[in-house]
Amino acid sequence: MTERILLVEDDERLGAQIIEHLRGAGLTPTWLTDGNQALYEDPRPYSLIILDLMLPGAYGLDILKHLRTTCDVPVLILSARNDTHDKVRSLELGADDYVTKPFWPEELLARVQARLRRPSLQRDGLIEIGALRLDVVGRSLEVNGAPVELTPVEFDLLTALAKRPGAAIQRGWLVDNVLDPEREGTERTLDVHVSRLRKKLGAASKQVATVWGVGYRLLTDAPG
Amino acid sequence: MSLRTRLGLTVLLIAVPLLIGLSWVRSELLLRQIETGMRSYVLAHMDDDERTGCEASPESYSGERGRRPQSRRPPAPPPPPGADHLPGEADAPTDDASDANAPDDPETSGRDARPPRDGPEDRAGRRGGRRARPGRGRPGRHRGAEGDRRGRGPGRGGSFAPRPRLFAYSSAFVSFNPDAPEFPASIREELESGEDIATAPGVDPKGQKLFHVGVRLPPLEGGLDDSPCAIVLVSRPDPRAHFELDFLMWGALGLCATMLCAVLLAAGPIVRRIRLLTTEVRAAAADHYATPVGADASDEIGELGRAFNEAGAELRSHIDTLAEREQTLRAFLSNTTHDVMIPLTVLQGHLSALRDSVSADGDASGDFVCDAGRVRSALEESHYIGSLLHNLAAAAKLQAGEASFHLFAVNLGDLVERVAHRHAPIARQSGIELDFAVPEAPATTLADVTLLEQAVSNLVHNAVRYNEDGGHVAVSLETQGDQFILRVIDDGPGIPAADLAHVTKPRFRSDAARTRDPAGQGLGLHIAGDVAARHGFDLRITTREPHGVEATLAGTLCTSAPDAG
């Protein structure tokens, strides 16, 4: 089942392009060219609504207001106006994001997917990412089903990364929040810990990715 | 309505009622005088002797005294009894003649001076009765009094025969004299209500306006109880019937005329000066307020001139400001279009070349050689155009000043994410790794989101643009206490040390700043520097070892403001 996206865009060429990109990303788009149609459309079946503000006939913010009275579906505003006041107003009225033109197709998709991303389910302190399965409470790790023994620091390190899967975490932050404060660890120390952790993860080590100039990231899937 | 007309009308508006009031007051005073005079006359006239005579023969009494020629001539000896014992007519000329020394007044000469037209025997009786009386002097006294009164009075203009006629009535307001007119009702009312004297206007049978005075006489000693002469009515022509212009009125009229002339005369110079000022004002307005109007006088007109000059000066400075702004805007507009034309042309060039390569080698089956590098260049160029347009808008906003900023709590993490996504496609196609890291907890700062995002975007764009395949760019946001630190680092060629110090300084007016020099700073970093300065943030651009740039933007976080991403 793919996500349903509602696009309200009056420009023929731009609208066609956006629809093409959304389809290419595996989403199911519906396209309305008339703002008034949007008022009669039931928003609830959709996972995301992309709304162009500059619509002829209907004032985009009024449609936004209307949508907010009926549902909580995330709304992404498209606008040619790079105006702070417009952005503030849209956000005040309940929009979730504001994309200014011109934009790259990948850019729009990235923003759409960011809104569609579900928070990682952490039922009972269990985090499953790729081949890894962490029990935060029990402080145990399974890699491809097999348990792996980690030192407390290594476990804390992995957990810190796992709690924000896909996001890059700064070295400095990890040093401050993961390493033992009494030990006065440095970034060097951190790198050593990561190196050791990778070794223990074996085949899944690639999930722990280095981010240049930043730190580390836990990938949701092992690359390649 | 012109000023002088208005002044003239105002003077008239004041003068006319004034004159009318004055003449009314005068006539009222005259009336009072007459009233008083007539009352005195009545009271003086109706002495005991007269009353006795009246009571004796009320049916013929009409207020005229008996013929007593002697009494009329105070210094002359009494004439022989027979000579003047004629009916009233014979005496009349004498009467008139004797009054020659009094002012010509047929009415008053007839009044009291003419003996009453009663029977000779009455006259004789009365005469006889009175000759010895010292009352003889009284007529003269009366006359004198009347003469005085006459002299004072306005009677001079009177040319009519009617003289003040006196009739006696009983207390029931009935006269025994058949000639007596009906007692006026209004006077009757007043007398009945307790007054002793009352006056009222009236009209005689000929239609002339009269003035009646009714007097209730005090009871006569030794007189009848129901005296037929209890009330006396005196009538004389109403002097107010004729409007007379005397010296006073002429004087007042003359004064008003003089005032009018004076006012109009005084208004002359004022009106002239106002007209002059008007001309000068019109000239100044046509001249865009370059020439001031005359404002030397110390009075109100001079003040007006000064006020106009001040207003004109202000207007002029305003016009100058607007003209300057318009000039700036025009220059900006022409520069903007100029700046976009070049990359647009380059883009067209790339696309054109691509088309040519497609048509040259390709066919419907898609078997063509596509210059990937050219495609990338085309994409970069269009990316640059988008960036440039946003930058130009940001530059305009910065030039307009802080008043155009719209500050609110900006979520820095979301901002970094947006900027990273913006440049990711271009970075990826160039083989540059672009990544970002933000803290989990929201970090907000007070800023104009559009300007701040453009500043950060410029830093990232610069880092990407001059990097090469295999290079890296990282955007990292950290918080330390109440401070945020946003770093954009790259391992590209870096900025020459000599330029580092100047790289963020605003150089909007310089052509060099707007062109893309090979080192590549251009407009973007200047805007980043200006935005940072206006927001109170600190922007530092340093060299990274072994090569590359580290741009650090630091500022204060919002403590507890609502997140508005």
For B176-232, the pLDDT digits (tens) are 777 777 788 888 888 888 778 788 877 777 777 777 888 887 776 766 667 777 888
Picking from A85, A91, A105, the nearest residue to B565 by CB comes out as A91
Q: Count, in order, helices (H) and strands (E) of chain B.
A: 16, 11
Q: Is A82 on the interface with B (CB under 8 A)?
A: yes
Using a CB-CB cut-off of 8 Å, the residues of chain B touching A112 are none
Residue B251 has pLDDT above 90, yes or no: no
Residue A96 has pLDDT above 60, yes or no: yes
Mutate to test the interface with B, among A100, A104, A178 (most CBs of B within 10 A): A104
Predicted complex ipTM: 0.91
Q: Is B439 on the interface with A (CB under 8 A)?
A: yes
Q: Is B478 on the interface with A (CB under 8 A)?
A: yes
Using a CB-CB cut-off of 8 Å, the residues of chain B touching A114 are 417
Concatenating the DSSP letter of every residue in B108-155 gives HHHTTTSPP---HHHHHHHHHHHHTSGGGHHHHHHHHHHHHHHHHSSG
Using a CB-CB cut-off of 8 Å, the residues of chain A touching B393 are 82
Longest dimension (CA), chain B: 172
Rg (C-alpha) for chain B, rounded Å, is 60
Residues 6+ apart with CB under 8 A from A92: B564
Rg (C-alpha) for chain A, rounded Å, is 22
Q: Is B489 on the interface with A (CB under 8 A)?
A: yes
Model-level pTM?
0.62
Contact flag A106-B565 (C-beta cutoff 8 Å): no
Q: Is A126 on the interface with B (CB under 8 A)?
A: no
For A111-160, the pLDDT digits (tens) are 999 888 765 556 677 888 888 999 988 899 999 889 999 999 999 999 99
* Residue appearing with tokens 């007529």: B139
pLDDT at B253: 85
* Residue appearing with tokens 């009271």: B43
Residues 6+ apart with CB under 8 A from B488: B456, B459, B460, B463, B473, B474, B475, B549, B550, B551, B553
Q: Tell me which DSSP letter residue B514 carries.
A: H
Using a CB-CB cut-off of 8 Å, the residues of chain A touching B436 are 168, 214
Residue A223 has pLDDT above 80, yes or no: no
**Please, where are the H alpha helices in B46-64?**
48-56
Contact flag A87-B478 (C-beta cutoff 8 Å): no
Contact flag A102-B564 (C-beta cutoff 8 Å): no
**Which residue of chain B comes nearest to A93, CA vs CA?**
B564
Closest CA to B478 of A169, A163, A165: A169
pLDDT at B241: 56
* pLDDT band of B79, cuts 50, 70, 90: very low
Contact flag A213-B422 (C-beta cutoff 8 Å): no
pLDDT at B244: 60
Q: Is B406 on the interface with A (CB under 8 A)?
A: yes
Residue B123 has pLDDT above 50, yes or no: no
* pLDDT band of A60, cuts 50, 70, 90: confident
Contact flag B564-A172 (C-beta cutoff 8 Å): no
Q: Is A120 on the interface with B (CB under 8 A)?
A: no
Using a CB-CB cut-off of 8 Å, the residues of chain B touching A172 are 478
Using a CB-CB cut-off of 8 Å, the residues of chain A touching B562 are none
Cis peptide bond upstream of A102, omega within 30: yes
Contact flag B565-A213 (C-beta cutoff 8 Å): no
Using a CB-CB cut-off of 8 Å, the residues of chain B touching A97 are 565
For A208-219, the pLDDT digits (tens) are 999 999 999 999
Q: Is A110 on the interface with B (CB under 8 A)?
A: yes
Q: How far is A97 from chain B (nearest CA, A)?
A: 8
Task: Return the minimum-mean-pLDDT range out of A44-48, A189-193, B4-8, B303-307.
Answer: B4-8
Which of A67-76, A142-151, B305-314, B450-459 ranks highest by mean pLDDT?
A: B450-459
Using a CB-CB cut-off of 8 Å, the residues of chain B touching A213 are 435, 472-474, 476, 489
Mutate to test the interface with B, among A163, A164, A178, A212 (most CBs of B within 10 A): A212
* pLDDT band of B419, cuts 50, 70, 90: very high
Q: What percent of chain B has pLDDT above 70?
A: 73
